[in-house]
Amino acid sequence: MTEPLDLARLQHRLAEFAAARNWQPHHTPKNLAAALSVEASELVEIFQWLTPEESARVMADPGTAHRVEDEVADVLAYLLQFCGTLGIDPLAALAAKIDRNERRFPVAGDKGGDEPGQLTDS
């Protein structure tokens, strides 16, 4: 494959794939958001009984590594299709969010004990 491996190209392939199978009626934003969350949970399922240490070693087993990569692909696929139906540019959305977070959470004022989760609840 000589195509450049970029998001826009993959998004286009996903849209063609769905259109060729007449799936657009199923692909409402509501359904694609649900499908995205289901795939994210399938990723969680791989890790749910692992210790933190075990979770850092999942790629050492080829079968588990393939399963993790497969779920990553599914999450990204539904995220791109969701963004496609609503005209959202996911890279621009993320760049804007990082810009906002860098202003809101300057390093100098950061305490070591803060939890990372606070950033995402803007």
Could you tell me the smallest distance in angstroms from the CB atom of residue 58 to a copy of itself? 6
Could you tell me the smallest distance in angstroms from the CB atom of residue 118 to a copy of itself? 9
Which phi and psi (to 5°) does residue 83 adopt? -65, -35
Q: How many residues does the chain have?
A: 122
Beta strands in 69-117 (DSSP E): none
Could you tell me the smallest distance in angstroms from the CB atom of residue 39 to a copy of itself? 6
Tell which residue, 81, 90, 88, has the closest CA to residue 21: 81
Cα–Cα distance for residue pair 18/24, rounded to 1 Å: 7
